[in-house]
Amino acid sequence: MKITPQTIADVLLIEPKVFGDERGYFFESFRQDLFEAATGYPVNFIQDNESKSGKGVLRNLHFQRPPYAQSKLVRVIEGDVLDIAVDLRQGSPAFGQHASARLSGKNKHQLFIPRGFAHGFIVLSETATFVYKVDNVYAPEHDCGIYYADTSLGIDWQLPQQDIKTSEKDATLPTLAELTESTPEALFQYGSTLYD
């Protein structure tokens, strides 16, 4: 596999080795020993999730507060999405900045998003099937998010605003500044040990 740090170095683009012929293709979508050796991240993925969405659906910038913070390994089985990770580690040189990648069923790229980041994606194709691994259980009482159209984040979602479809809950999430002011304990500390 080829691993490339993104604009925020802790977010990693993973390109698996795909073996294809006239019958179709095969690839290892995850192998823990190779992943940990290549990335240095000691992860223990405990759950797989899958969603299917239509064009313009935006699954917002979500994260979970400690002790239920999650790392994610995300990919697309069919379709095309723009995937976004926002750095929420206070004290990080990249705090409030984002990394992005196009993930598709065709390119088979994956994005590793470590703990300390908010994550979201938007569907750019007619439909997309999105799958991801997480290393912590869903804990609704620790669930948080940031408003996707927060201008301070500088995210180009690559579709006109009128074509973006999001949930009522996601449309009312706070901006990063509002979250930082009202609930600073929801954010992470840069350099903290998130994998113990």
For the annotated catalytic residues, the residue numbers are 62, 132
User: Which residue has 């979201």 as its token pair?
Assistant: 120
> Which one, of 1, 5, 183, lies nearest residue 108 by Cα?
1
The sign one gets for the Cα dihedral 151, 92, 7, 36 is negative
The sign one gets for the Cα dihedral 120, 89, 71, 102 is positive
- Phi, psi dihedrals of residue 115, rounded to the nearest 5°: -60, 150
Buried b / exposed e over 73-112, threshold 16 CB at 10 Å, is: bbbbeebbbbbbbbbbbeebebbbebbbbbbbeeebbbbb
d(CA 100, CA 85): 6
